[in-house]
């Protein structure tokens, strides 16, 4: 960033005319001054210099700040420049006549910015200011002097009245940089990471799930959305109460109830990256810590099926019988069941290593992170692992009931009401069918299959499941009676 002394500026509209006027006045004055300089003695010239600067500052009360595209020692593209580019994208789209367009998000959407020598205005706390763009340097120069490729170097210039100096240099510029970074963050291509042993690999994350498509009771859904949004906006709160800016979610429920889908919906809602941690592939606690350190902020770290990942089901007192690992790590013999992907060496991650991962000192690095565990058997998990503070919010995803069914019907069939809804609602409250099962019946199997046919098929499936359930219950009852009879006979004998 470079703050310039007063100089001429480009023209624009009403305020622009004033600038143009001042500009030409100054140009004239400079010309006269250049001629006078040749005839004036040195002392007089210094004296004149000093007062002429003051005069110019008085008649031209504007300050300019230049933000160059490339700068610094290694001529890296300036962070401030790209933040400003993003910040100005919306005002450029509405104000500038010549625009530049660039592809983002894996060539899926366009970001507009103003073309060179364009100008846009902005307002902050009632203060008006202007941004202009430009380019300097020729292709040949940029190649020979710095390694920025064969591009010319662009710049943005901010022009404002000097009486607003404090406001602009302080709050306004930090607002611009913050907003610009936020826009860039929103436009970025999100990633899904997974660990290959102790290193992260990533692919582009594109999952269509959203909270709109998740079938669950609307109140429960809203509660989760509110919780997530509050978390993402609570940086100051977490700093004030002295807690790391992270939150743990435990999603539990039978298979096919939407746990993995909900994680994708969470990431899409908050625009976070996902780190899908395969715990059995992590060699030991040290590797686990390294993986944690390498995660970025604004991300969700997921451990799916935590009950199957490691033998974490035992109580912590088990660890009293630990044996010392080869690398000096505490090792629980019960945990040797988990193998690394090659099946060669067992994973030596321990429960205490995992607890450290969740809320040890290292877990606070980066900030703004969600940690999500999923399980089908919450009762198998060590209470220490899922206590509040570690897993702050426990969300049960359960069988599909009538409210959840309405969401599925809306999404899959595009209908809000149907005469079969009441029957289906009643049956769903009596039969345990997962949303995955219900969704399967709502998928059209041929182009001619309509909503009526899908719903009738679902009713048949539900009635069948109900009858099966009833006959199983009958069988169990009979068995129970038989065994009671036998017990009575035995007792008599
Ligand atoms: N609540 C739901 N809302 C919408 N779709 C759902 C829901 N639950 C399941 N589905 C559908 O069923 C499929 C399986 O769901 P998902 O993989 O999220 O289940 P899961 O709970 O993670 O199961 P598992 O415990 O076996 O991993 C998904 O493709 C999704 O389309
Ligand atoms: Mg799953």
Per-residue pLDDT reduced to its tens digit, 6-23? 444 444 444 445 555 666
Query: What pLDDT is stored for residue 172 in this prediction?
Result: 94
Residues 379 and 408 in one domain: no
Residues 133 and 212 in one domain: no
Residue with tokens 């959305």: 225
Q: How far apart are CA 417 and CA 406, in angstroms?
A: 8
Taking the CA of residue 254 as reference, the ligand 1 atom at the shortest distance is: 25
The rounded Å distance from CA 336 to ligand 2 centre is 24
Mean pLDDT along residues 285-304: 91
Report the percentage of the chain scoring pLDDT > 70. Answer: 81
Number of separate domains in the chain: 3
Give the residues surrounding ligand 1 with Cβ less than 6 Å away.
213-216, 255-261, 376, 435-436, 439
Among the listed residues 345, 349, 313, the one whose alpha carbon sits nearest the alpha carbon of residue 332: 349
Residues 452 and 407 in one domain: yes
Mean pLDDT along residues 118-143: 79
| Confidence class for position 72, pLDDT limits 50, 70, 90 | low
Mean pLDDT along residues 161-186: 90
Residues 239 and 370 in one domain: yes
Last residue within a domain, chosen from 369, 396, 423: 396
Residues 334 and 232 in one domain: yes
Q: How far apart are CA 275 and CA 134, in angstroms?
A: 40
Residues 173 and 40 in one domain: yes
CATH number of 270's domain = 3.40.50.300
* Residue-wise DSSP of 19-36: HHHHHHHHHHHHHHHHHH
The rounded Å distance from CA 397 to ligand 2 centre is 11
Residues 374 and 468 in one domain: no
| Confidence class for position 90, pLDDT limits 50, 70, 90 | confident
Count the Cβ atoms, other than its own, within 10 Å of residue 409: 24
The rounded Å distance from CA 395 to ligand 1 centre is 14
Last residue within a domain, chosen from 340, 373, 396: 396
The rounded Å distance from CA 25 to ligand 1 centre is 71
Q: How far apart are CA 192 and CA 274, in angstroms?
A: 5
Last residue within a domain, chosen from 187, 206, 227: 187
* Residue-wise DSSP of 246-314: EEEEEEE-STTSSHHHHHHHHHHHHT-EEEE--GGG--SHHHHHHHHHT--SSEEEEE-SHHHHSS--S
pLDDT at 236 over 50: yes
Q: Which of 216, 254, 260, 433 is the best mutation target for the ligand 1 pocket, counting ligand atoms within 8 Å of the beta carbon and taking the most?
A: 260
The rounded Å distance from CA 396 to ligand 1 centre is 13
Residue nearest to atom 9 of ligand 1 (CA): 258
Categorise residue 409: left if φ over 0, alpha if ψ from -120 to 50, beta otherwise. alpha
pLDDT at 259 over 80: yes
In sequence order, which residues have a C-beta less than 8 Å from that of residue 143 and are 6 or more positions away?
149, 150
Query: What pLDDT is stored for residue 23 in this prediction?
Result: 60
Residues 179 and 328 in one domain: no
| Confidence class for position 147, pLDDT limits 50, 70, 90 | very low
Contacts 24+ apart (CB under 8 A), 216-222: 216/258, 216/397, 216/403, 216/404, 216/407, 216/435, 217/401, 217/403, 217/404, 218/403, 218/407, 220/395
Report the percentage of the chain scoring pLDDT > 90. Answer: 36
Mean pLDDT along residues 206-230: 94
The rounded Å distance from CA 94 to ligand 1 centre is 43
Mean pLDDT along residues 32-58: 73
Q: Which of 215, 252, 256 is the best mutation target for the ligand 1 pocket, counting ligand atoms within 8 Å of the beta carbon and taking the most?
A: 256
The per-residue pLDDT of the chain, averaged, comes to 81
Q: What global pTM score does this model have?
A: 0.71
Taking the CA of residue 261 as reference, the ligand 1 atom at the shortest distance is: 18
Q: Looking at the CA of 252, which ligand is closest?
A: 1
In sequence order, which residues have a C-beta less than 8 Å from that of residue 94 and are 6 or more positions away?
none
Residues 69 and 159 in one domain: yes
Query: What pLDDT is stored for residue 262 in this prediction?
Result: 96
Query: Containing domain of residue 287, as a range?
Result: 191-396
Residue with tokens 């662009």: 154
Categorise residue 125: left if φ over 0, alpha if ψ from -120 to 50, beta otherwise. left
Contact 168, 129 (CB under 8 A): yes
Residues 13 and 153 in one domain: yes
Residues 123 and 195 in one domain: no
Residues 109 and 252 in one domain: no
| DSSP strand pairing (2-4 vs 273-276) | unpaired
């Amino acid at each position: 960033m470079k703050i310039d002394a007063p100089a001429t500026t480009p023209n624009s509209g009403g305020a622009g005319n004033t600038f143009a006027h001042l500009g030409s006045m100054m140009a004239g004055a400079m010309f006269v001054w250049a001629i006078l300089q040749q005839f004036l003695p040195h002392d007089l010239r210094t004296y004149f210099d000093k007062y002429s600067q003051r005069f110019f500052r008085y008649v031209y009360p504007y300050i300019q700040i230049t933000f160059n595209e490339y700068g610094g020692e290694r001529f890296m593209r300036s962070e401030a420049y790209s933040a400003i580019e993003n910040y100005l994208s919306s005002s450029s789209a509405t104000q500038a006549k010549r625009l530049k367009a660039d592809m983002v998000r894996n060539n899926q959407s366009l970001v507009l910015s103003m073309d060179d020598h364009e100008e846009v205005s902005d307002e902050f706390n009632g203060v008006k200011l202007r941004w202009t763009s430009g380019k300097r340097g020729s292709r040949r120069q940029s190649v020979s002097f710095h390694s920025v490729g064969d591009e010319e170097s662009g710049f943005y210039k901010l022009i404002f009245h000097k009486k607003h100096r404090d406001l602009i240099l302080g709050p306004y510029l930090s607002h611009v940089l913050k907003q610009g970074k936020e826009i860039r963050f929103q436009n970025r291509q999100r990633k899904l990471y997974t660990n290959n042993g102790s290193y992260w690999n990533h692919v582009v994350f594109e999952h269509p799930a959203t909270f709109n498509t998740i079938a669950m009771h609307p109140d429960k859904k809203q509660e989760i959305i509110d919780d997530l949004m509050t978390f993402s906006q609570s940086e100051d709160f977490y700093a004030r109460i002295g807690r790391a800016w992270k939150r743990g979610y435990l999603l539990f429920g039978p298979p096919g109830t939407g746990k993995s889908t909900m994680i994708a919906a969470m990431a899409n809602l908050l625009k976070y990256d996902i780190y899908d941690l395969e715990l059995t592939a992590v060699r030991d606690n040290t590797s686990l810590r390294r993986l944690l350190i390498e995660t970025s902020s604004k991300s969700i770290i997921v451990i799916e099926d935590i009950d199957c990942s490691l033998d974490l089901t035992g109580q912590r007192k088990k660890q009293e019988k630990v044996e010392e690992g080869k690398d000096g790590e505490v090792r629980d013999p019960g945990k040797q069941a988990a193998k690394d992907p090659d099946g060669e060496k067992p994973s030596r991650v321990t429960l205490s290593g995992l607890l450290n991962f969740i809320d040890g000192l290292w877990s606070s690095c980066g900030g703004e992170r969600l940690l999500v565990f999923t399980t089908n058997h919450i009762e198998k998990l060590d209470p220490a692992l899922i206590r509040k503070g570690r897993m702050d919010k426990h969300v049960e995803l359960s069988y599909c009931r009538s409210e959840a069914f309405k969401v599925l019907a809306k999404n899959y069939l595009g209908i809000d009401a149907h005469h079969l809804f009441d029957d289906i609602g009643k049956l769903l409250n009596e039969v345990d069918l997962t949303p995955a099962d219900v969704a399967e019946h709502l998928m059209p199997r041929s182009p001619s299959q309509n909503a009526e046919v899908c719903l009738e098929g679902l009713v048949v499936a539900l009635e069948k499941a109900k009858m099966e359930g009833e006959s199983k219950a009958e069988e169990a009852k009979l068995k129970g009676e038989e065994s009671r009879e036998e017990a009575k006979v035995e007792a008599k004998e």
